[in-house]
Each structure stands twice: as structure tokens, then as C-alpha cells.
A and B are shown apart, each in its own frame.
Chain A
Amino acid sequence: MTKLNMPKIDRKLISRKPDIVADLKKIIKAENILDHEDQIRPFETDGLSAYKQKPLVVVFPENTEEISKILAYCSRQHIKVVPRGSGTGLSGGALPLEDGLLLCLGKFNKIINIDYKNRCVVAQPGVTNLSITHAVQDNGFYYAPDPSSQIACSIGGNVAENSGGIHSLKYGTTTNNLLGAEVVFMDGTISRLGGKTFDSEGYDLLGLITGSEGHLCVITEVTVKILKKPETVKAALIGFSTIEDGGKCVSDIIASGIIPAGMEMMDKALIHATDNFVKAGYPRDAAAKLIVELDGTGTEVDELIEKVEAIAKKNNSSSMKISKNEKQRMKFWAGRKAAFPACGDMAPDYYCMDGTIPRGKLAEVLKEIGRLSKKYDLPVANAFHAGDGNLHPLIMYDANEKNSLEKTEKFGAEILKYCVKVGGVLTGEHGVGVEKRELMCEMFNNNDIQQQIKIKKALDVNSLLNPGKVYPILRKCAEEGRIHVHRGKTKFPDIPRF
């Protein structure tokens, strides 16, 4: 485990733990407070399990008023607070602090209102992403953002991280599908942002808090947009004998005026790994494989599939399958969704990166990753949300080999820096958290970062809410940035990732 620099620990405060617990018992039920070593251990990490830290105390408030009182109390007592949804985040955003309270939203697990007239669902933040779709699917509706961990991740966490998914290009990320929220600021103020209307007037505070990684407020209720399911959905599975051809095909599809619902690419290493794992019928001789999903009316989808076929042929596709039914379409996706566990079979350990690049730079970036792979003598497999340019290289290594972890870290940082160099960004959907904070200065200069910190201070004067995340603690760019998985022993191994 790599040692992380976190905000200075307040030892005096830790020594006051019994008093703090006693005070908290005056605010919430005693049964909703966990303070014993054994009770709090399960909360020592989130989806980035390379880092562990037991919190001072864990609380499970039951309503907004309790959260307001807890935050006001912590504000007065200068106690740091880390909010946590389902703990599936991959960048350590919910990593506890030794001298901080871990505020779990697990009891906020109800859907409050389904409103078809206004096409929205009002839910508590602990409700899982997929439950929202489940609640409305009988009427043919769904909630569009679909991060791969959607069976477990909470909708409040989705707002905090601005979660994406495979359909972001056409349907946007969380921020484009959120209409309103009830939030509590660090001083205990409860506020309603947005509602059931389109857009809100004044400063777009809803837009600001979305993706702010639990830095600005605690979310206690969300109102999300729901959409009617498309009439028809079909997917094309296309193989290419070179990465360049596959990359060019992606660009040509977009340039032709088609916006696929989803467009996913894998390189040869991952095609083999996933096909071994789920027998998805992938083209094993291909250097790159593309899944293009198209939705709309039947006529429209057939027209688009025809166009995609023609574009793929023009780009020397080596194989092509079109899904004939829902079962086959799901099979196309099964391999893609199993990319993470499949990699667990290939090497004892791997790191997952999360940069976004301009689509047209794919071949260049993959070539560079190939070069770095040779330089560091570490194999790498690549999964790519080609539609929106989000790249997930998986670096394989064996942590038992001396210095291999450090070597992998350097490799990962070089990849992310290259993503920024070609016009991309450090993180597309996993968030900065503790994982990439020291790399922030690759993208932002001091003015940019200071402006963001000023906003943080405007809403959380003493920086008590989730400190140590997102912004660099050291004024240097440490070479960090990855998810660490050892021998497949990730937290919640059954949850699909990225």
C-alpha cells in the first residue's frame, strides 16, 4: 500500500472521541453510530482498495434534519466529515480520515416520487442507480446514465462523481440528467437546488455540485430525468486487423453524422481475455474490436446499421455481426462488461487508468501506450469508450516482484500525462479523489486551482468537508493515478467496473 499524504491529523480531537460519540448520540439514535474498531473496519476503504483508513466514527443518519444537525455540530467542533454513498467509487473519494466522521447515506434508500407527467423521479441519495430504472421500466421508461457499477452505486454518489456510462455520448452524463437536489452545506444549511423544471435561474449551483466529489455539500435528495425507452436497439460487432482502421472507423462514424447510443472498443489483449472469460464470440484474430449500438425507431436503426456497415467496410473491417435479437445484443456486451474480472485471469495484479482523449487520437495514444509497455516491460490491455473518448488502459504486473508497483505507477502517470498532452483530460468518469489529485497540475495551473479552492472555501469555510481529495496536497506532481487490484481481490469483486 502506498503511503498517502492527507491533511494534518488532529490528535487532540481523536482523544476526544468518547465525548464526540456522546454528543452524536444526542443528535441521532445510538444504533446509528458505529465507533468500535470492529464495527468501523468494513468502512476503511471504497472501490480504490489500495488505500485504507479507519474513520474516527461512522454515522448513519435517517433524515435531512439529522444530517443538518450533524454537519452544524461538526462545523462548530472542527470535525472533518467524509460523505459516503455505496462506496463503489474508484478514485478514493470516500476514503475515510483518521480524525474524521464518515457520514453514510445508506439509510436514505427510498424512491420518494415517480412523476411521469414531468418525466422525473425524486429519490433519496442512497438509492442505487439501477433501482431508478427498475422503478419506471414497467411503464417503458429508464434513467439514462449507466455506470458499469449501476447495480450497487448510489444515485447520490453518481451526482457527487458526475458518473457516466457507456451511453454518455448520446444521453449525457449525470449532470445532463439531473433536475434538482436537496443538499446540506457544512454549516448545516439545507438548500433546494433546481426542481422539476428545466434549468434553474441564477448561478447553476446544481451544475457546480455535480462532480464536486463530496467537497461542497452533502446530497440528501435528487430529482433525475427519466426517458422513454427507444423503440429498437441493435448492436454491430466489428473486427479490424489494425488499431488504426478501428480508430478511423470511429471517427468516420461520428463525422458521417451518426451519434451511436454506445460505441466501445477493445484491443487484442482484451478481446482474448474477455472472450476466454465469457465466450462472447468475439473476433479473436482481430487487432481491435468495436461494438456500435444504435437506437431509435426500427426504420431509423436499420438505416443507421446499413451506414455503419458501409463505413466499417471502407475502413477494412475484418468481420462484422449484427445483433439479431436482444439476447445476442446482450451477449455482445457481456464480454465488454466483464473486462475487469477477465483481466484478473491474465496477471496477478493490474491498474486501471481513466483518461479521456479526442477520439481521433486513439491510434496515436495506443501506439504510445504500446511503446511505454515495452519501455516498462509490463503488458497492457485497453478498453475504450470510443464514443466519448474515455480510455481505460489496464496495466498488468505482479506486486510480488520487487519495485514492480513503483514501475507501474510511473507507467500509469505517463499514460495520463500523454492523454492531457494530446488534448484530453486526466479523468473521464472515475473522479480525481485521492488517486489523481497530485496530477491536477498537469491540466491546471495555479490560478485555475486557486479559483477552485476559493469556491470550496466559499461554501465550506474551514475545509471540513472531504478534505484531502481532488486538489493537490503537495505542490508537486507526484506520479500517482490508478486503481490497484491484487489477485482479483478487489472490494466487491462481483460489481462490474468501468
Chain B
Amino acid sequence: MYIEEKQSSQIFQDSSSIEFPKSEKEVSAFIKKFYKSNTSLELVGTSSKKKIGKLLQCTKTLNLSKLRGVIEYFPEELYIKVKAGTPIDQIEKELKKNKQQLAFEPIDFGNLLNGKSDYGTAGGQVACNISGPRRLKVGSVRDHVLGFRGVNGRGEIIKSGGTVVKNVTGYDLSKLMCGSFGTLVALTEITFKVLPAPEENKTLIVHNQKIEKALQYLENCINSSNDVSGAVFLPKEPIVPGCVMNIENTFKLNDLKEDGSITALRIEGSKNSIDHRIKNLINILQIKNLNISILQSHQSEIFWHKVKNLEFFSSSKNSIIRIVIPPSEAAKLIYQLSNTFKYYIDWGGALIWMEALELSEGMFESIRKKAVKLGGYVTMIKNSTYLPYVEDVFTIGRDRFSISQNIKKSFDPKKILNPGKMYTGI
């Protein structure tokens, strides 16, 4: 019997069950103690993304939010080393002073999941590995973690990587940390690669296109030399009573000339270069005579901020699903799904965010089956009151499950760290 099953009857924790370690040493001491006593532990930062993954019922909670602060920041070396509990907005503020950024665009899940803006912590971003629209161009969280320190399930302090981009010394465990939802290591320190923030950005919007044409436009632009850093399609259809996603309500921008679906392309860089590239895109798409808008810097920023932070859904009580798929298959999948689901497409076709009204577990599994068949995967990001629980939040096949079990065992042999958060038995 797994620990999470053993603990399943214990739903409430009193406050003495929450530990707030203030140093890596303390984290190690706590985990060593719990390892000895076979006590399961839930790892949290600010709990902004706690609702992603299975709900845990652990004996103890290790709250890592007191491990905070920037340890080192060398702008000219393009890295920042922080304690894992450091809030993302604090890091971004620090980087902004030197016109730098976390290029993968951390998402603010706070509004969607808890009704309050909260970017969470560095550790949380790494644990979830979910990136914003710029992922298309620069890679995801996992491509921006240069190294880490943390404590494994035996209470041992371990590290991997460093502060430099080019490093092949030993296995790249930083990658393994990304998207492991705290099931391998309690992270204590993270070194992020940082990049210069673009001087300016503008957005080219083509109005009123249908999905196939829109995706073709996105593809043509990404497949050009114009360095597109955001490519999203926001359809007007289907209109679903009971779903909150609504373009008009979300984007009240002066530069938007038209109603209807939005096909948007972001260009970043210096002013001259942006103008040159937007001209290129208009030529490539041969859309001079179509209805287009160009969002200038300020409005463009608001636009992508809203797209990134899933503002369409923020007051939704419905299930929110994330589907990652080869870009060529996006339209195919959309056509196979019920038209009671509102959706929008990011990453030029590679990512579908979906708001699903009255979604049953059977329907969810059927979406997953279709996505997997097309080479993709599906994650339940937010449960609804209609479907408060699904058995499989994440997608995994049998062979990868067994490999993952072995990996888990090598870090956390007694399965005390976030047991069952991702999969039952891991």
C-alpha cells in the first residue's frame, strides 16, 4: 500500500503539521527525520499552483517560502541564483532593473486557481515547467535552469549543473527537476539563465479568420526569418453559454480595429527591426488588403500579458485543460471535440487551452485519447465543481511510467515527497 493511500483518511492538518524551514540545512534535517519515520510530506511555496496535480493528503507540509532571496545576480553573466522560495515577481523586478528577463514568461496561475494574482515562487515555476507564449521561440522553464541545489527523499543535500550555459559535467539533473512537481527533490536553490528584455514589441493582428487559415498564417510566419516570439489564435466560435472565455470582454484595446477572431503575431526587438519584420510578415501573408491591426508597444504588452496569464478563464468555474500537440494536428483535434468547449491556440498551434463546460471524466479521457493518437498529451489544470476529481491528471504511457517509478525510487526511495502528486505510485 502506498503512503498516499495510507494517509488518505487524514484530510485535515493542524498548524503544527506545517514546517517552515529557514535554511537548506533545516530542510535536510526535516526530511531526514521524516525519512526515518516514514512520514509523507507535501512541499509548497506560496501554494499558487497547489491545485495542479492530485490533491495531497500528507501528514506534514514543508513550506519552503521562507527560503527566499537573491543569492547572486550577474547581469553580464546572464544568470541569477536565487533561493527556491523567492517569489517570481521579486526576481522579475530585480531583472527589470538591468533590462533583463526570464525569457520563458512565467505564468500567473493565481487568478485562475485561487482568485488572486500570484506568480508563485522560483521553485514552483521549476516544479511545474509550464511556460508562456514566448516558449515558441526561446524554450520552456527547463531550457532556462542552469543548475540547482536541493534535498532528496533521504534528506541528502544534492546539486547539479552550475551557472554557465555550456556544461556537460555529469547528468543534467536540472532538466529532471523541471516538471517533477516536487516528487524528487525539495529544491533549495535555483540558477536561472536570464536574457536581455527586448527594447520594444508590437503585435500584428489579422482579424476574422477561421481556424485553418489562422493556423496557416501562424505557420508561415514562424517558418520565416522574422523571429516571431508569440503566435496565438483566439477564435470567436464556438459561442458556449456558461463559458466565460470571451475575446471582447478580455481585450478592450483601442488599437483593435475589429471584432471577431484574432490571429496575433508578436515581434520583439529594436524599433527599426520590428517595423521591418512586420512589413515582411504582411508581405509573406499577402494580407495587405485584409483587416489587420497593429498593436503598438504598450497595448501589445497588455495583450500578451492577458494571453499569458489565461485571463479569458480567470473567473471560470469550468474545467480548464491544457493540450500540447504537434502544431500540424491542432485543427484536426479541435474538429474532433465537442463544440461545447471554448478554446484558444498558442505556440503557433502547439498548445491548446480549453474551457470545458460540464466535462465528465469519460469525456476528458476521450479528449486525452484523441490527443495522444495525434502525438500530444493532456493535463487537467483546474477541476470544476461538475468534475472535482480526475484519476489521471497527467498523461503517461506504461513504459515511461515504469521508468519514472525507478527514477523516483533513486531520489526518494520511501516515496515521502509529494507522493501521488503526479501519478499514483510515484
- A444 and B273 in contact (CB under 8 A), knowing A168-B165, A428-B167? no
Q: Is B59 an interface residue (CB 8 A)?
A: no
Asked whether, in the complex, the Cβ of B175 is within 8 Å of the Cβ of A204, the reply is yes
Contact bitstring B156-190, A, C-beta under 8 A = 1, else 0: 11111011111111111111101110001000000
Asked whether, in the complex, the Cβ of B169 is within 8 Å of the Cβ of A443, the reply is yes
Q: Which of B19-27, B108-116, B302-310, B407-415 contacts A (4 or more CB under 8 A)?
A: B407-415
Contact residue among A118, A212, A252 (Cβ-Cβ distance under 8 Å from B171)? A212
Q: Is B142 an interface residue (CB 8 A)?
A: yes
Q: Which of A42-50, A148-156, A332-340, A449-457 contacts B (4 or more CB under 8 A)?
A: A449-457
Asked whether, in the complex, the Cβ of B164 is within 8 Å of the Cβ of A300, the reply is no
- A199 and B157 in contact (CB under 8 A), knowing A168-B166, A193-B400, A297-B225? no
Asked whether, in the complex, the Cβ of B166 is within 8 Å of the Cβ of A444, the reply is no
Q: Is A341 an interface residue (CB 8 A)?
A: no
- With contacts defined as CB atoms under 8 Å apart, how many contacts are there between chain A and chain B in the complex? 250
Contact bitstring A384-395, B, C-beta under 8 A = 1, else 0: 010011100000
Q: Is B76 an interface residue (CB 8 A)?
A: yes
Asked whether, in the complex, the Cβ of B76 is within 8 Å of the Cβ of A297, the reply is no
Asked whether, in the complex, the Cβ of A424 is within 8 Å of the Cβ of B404, the reply is no
Smallest Cβ-Cβ distance to B395: which chain A residue: A201
Q: In the complex, A229→B224 CA distance in Å?
A: 8
Contact residue among B136, B168, B395 (Cβ-Cβ distance under 8 Å from A161)? B168
| A231: chain B residues within 8 A (beta carbon) | 225
Contact residue among B195, B269, B325, B411 (Cβ-Cβ distance under 8 Å from A300)? B269
Asked whether, in the complex, the Cβ of B166 is within 8 Å of the Cβ of A429, the reply is yes
Asked whether, in the complex, the Cβ of B196 is within 8 Å of the Cβ of A259, the reply is yes
Which residues of chain B in 380-426 are interfacial with respect to chain A, using CB atoms and an 8 Å cutoff?
394-396, 399-400, 403-404, 406-407, 409-411, 422-423
| B396: chain A residues within 8 A (beta carbon) | 201-202
Smallest Cβ-Cβ distance to A461: which chain B residue: B406
Asked whether, in the complex, the Cβ of B172 is within 8 Å of the Cβ of A175, the reply is yes
| A444: chain B residues within 8 A (beta carbon) | 159, 170
Asked whether, in the complex, the Cβ of B277 is within 8 Å of the Cβ of A199, the reply is no
Contact residue among A162, A205, A359, A452 (Cβ-Cβ distance under 8 Å from B77)? A359
Contact residue among B171, B400, B422 (Cβ-Cβ distance under 8 Å from A455)? B171
Asked whether, in the complex, the Cβ of A117 is within 8 Å of the Cβ of B78, the reply is no
Q: In the complex, A118→B270 CA distance in Å?
A: 28
Max chain B Cβ within 10 angstroms of own Cβ: one of A199, A427, A431: A199
Give min CB distance, A284 to chain B, whole Å. Answer: 29
Using a Cβ–Cβ cut-off of 8 Å, how many residues does chain B contribute to the interface with A? 83
Q: In the complex, A299→B279 CA distance in Å?
A: 12
Using a Cβ–Cβ cut-off of 8 Å, how many residues does chain A contribute to the interface with B? 90
Q: Is B15 an interface residue (CB 8 A)?
A: no
Contact bitstring B195-228, A, C-beta under 8 A = 1, else 0: 1110100000000000000000001001111110
| A459: chain B residues within 8 A (beta carbon) | 403, 406-407
Q: Which of B240-248, B258-266, B358-366, B371-379 contacts A (4 or more CB under 8 A)?
A: B371-379
| A432: chain B residues within 8 A (beta carbon) | 168-170
Give min CB distance, B377 to chain A, whole Å. Answer: 5
Asked whether, in the complex, the Cβ of B375 is within 8 Å of the Cβ of A197, the reply is yes
Asked whether, in the complex, the Cβ of B223 is within 8 Å of the Cβ of A228, the reply is yes
Asked whether, in the complex, the Cβ of B410 is within 8 Å of the Cβ of A458, the reply is yes
Q: Is A211 an interface residue (CB 8 A)?
A: yes
Asked whether, in the complex, the Cβ of A455 is within 8 Å of the Cβ of B410, the reply is yes
| B423: chain A residues within 8 A (beta carbon) | 202
Q: Is A258 an interface residue (CB 8 A)?
A: yes
Give min CB distance, A75 to chain B, whole Å. Answer: 15
| A204: chain B residues within 8 A (beta carbon) | 129, 142, 175-176, 178-180
Q: Is A230 an interface residue (CB 8 A)?
A: yes
Q: In the complex, A173→B75 CA distance in Å?
A: 21
| A206: chain B residues within 8 A (beta carbon) | 175
Max chain B Cβ within 10 angstroms of own Cβ: one of A425, A431, A449: A425
Smallest Cβ-Cβ distance to B325: which chain A residue: A197
Q: In the complex, A298→B277 CA distance in Å?
A: 10
Asked whether, in the complex, the Cβ of A359 is within 8 Å of the Cβ of B172, the reply is no
| A205: chain B residues within 8 A (beta carbon) | 400, 403-404, 407
| B180: chain A residues within 8 A (beta carbon) | 203-204
Asked whether, in the complex, the Cβ of B350 is within 8 Å of the Cβ of A191, the reply is no
Q: Is B143 an interface residue (CB 8 A)?
A: yes
- Give residues in B with beta carbon < 8 Å to A: 74-78, 99, 129, 131, 135-136, 139-140, 142-143, 152, 156-160, 162-176, 178-180, 184, 195-197, 199, 219, 222-227, 269-270, 272-273, 276-277, 280, 324-328, 347, 350-351, 375-377, 379, 394-396, 399-400, 403-404, 406-407, 409-411, 422-423
**Given A207-B174, A208-B407, A440-B169, list of 5 further CB < 8 A pairs?**
A168-B165, A172-B139, A203-B184, A228-B224, A443-B162
- Give residues in A with beta carbon < 8 Å to B: 115-119, 140, 161-162, 164, 168-169, 172-173, 175-176, 185, 189-191, 193, 195-208, 210-212, 215, 228-231, 251-252, 254-255, 257-259, 296-300, 303, 356-360, 385, 388-390, 423-432, 436, 440, 443-444, 447-452, 454-455, 457-459, 470
Can you give 10 contacting A-B residue pairs, CB < 8 Å?
Answer: A116-B223, A164-B166, A185-B403, A204-B179, A207-B175, A423-B162, A429-B168, A444-B170, A451-B410, A458-B409
Instruction: Give me the 10 closest cross-chain CB pairs, A-B, nearest first.
Output: A207-B175, A257-B196, A300-B273, A196-B326, A458-B406, A428-B166, A454-B410, A117-B328, A255-B76, A458-B410
